[in-house]
Amino acid sequence: MVTIRPAADPDCAAIADIYRHYVDNTVATFDYEAPTSSDWAAKISRITSAGRPFLVVADRDDVLGFAYLGPFRDKRAYDRTAEDTIYLRPGAGGRGLGTRLLAALVSAADPANVRQIIAVIAATGGEASIAVHLTNGFVEVGRTPAVGYKFDQWIDCVYLQRSVG
């Protein structure tokens, strides 16, 4: 049975494995090095201590994906704007899990803490992620050409946004 729940420390190894795949094999993230399980535990703590959701989608104890609302920018004026992050384990796509996970993430956002959610998605290979965001009420608000460089290519980003509450 697939469930969506808050992430916990025992999920960190699976989260690290999922994300490592994207770091090592795709331009979905601009990270060049994958965070460790300990790094993910610290991130879960930072995100949830800030009153923002960090969720996993799991089939029993098997983590199939994760999503969280992190800071959008570090300037104080952006305090109530969040950037969403969502990743599914390779092979877990195509079953509606991303759509359900993003919907749960948006629902878990406290409107007193988060007013706007921004998605920054690599245009190269990001079509499924863009579709999941559009399905969840996000609208495209801009594109930035050639802002990321990974695997010997320049990558455009698509910005999507939606209000909370």
pLDDT number for residue 165: 82
- pTM, two decimals, is 0.97
Q: What is the pLDDT of residues 25-60, one digit of tens each?
A: 999 999 999 999 999 999 999 999 999 999 999 999
Q: Compute the average pLDDT of residues 97-125.
A: 97
| CB-based contacts of 4, cutoff 8 Å, min separation 6 | 55, 56, 57, 58, 100, 101, 104
Q: What is the pLDDT of residues 62-110, one digit of tens each?
A: 999 999 999 999 999 999 999 999 999 999 999 999 999 999 999 999 9
Q: What whole-number distance in Å separates Cα of residue 157 and Cα of residue 147? A: 7
Phi-psi category of residue 74: left, alpha or beta, with phi > 0 → left and psi -120 to 50 → alpha: alpha
CATH code, domain carrying 58: 3.40.630.30
pLDDT number for residue 62: 96
Query: Under a CB-based contact definition with an 8 Å cutoff, are residues 86 and 67 in contact?
Result: yes
pLDDT number for residue 61: 87
Q: In terms of residue numbers, what domain contains 143?
A: 2-163
Number of domains in the chain: 1
Q: What whole-number distance in Å separates Cα of residue 67 and Cα of residue 107? A: 12
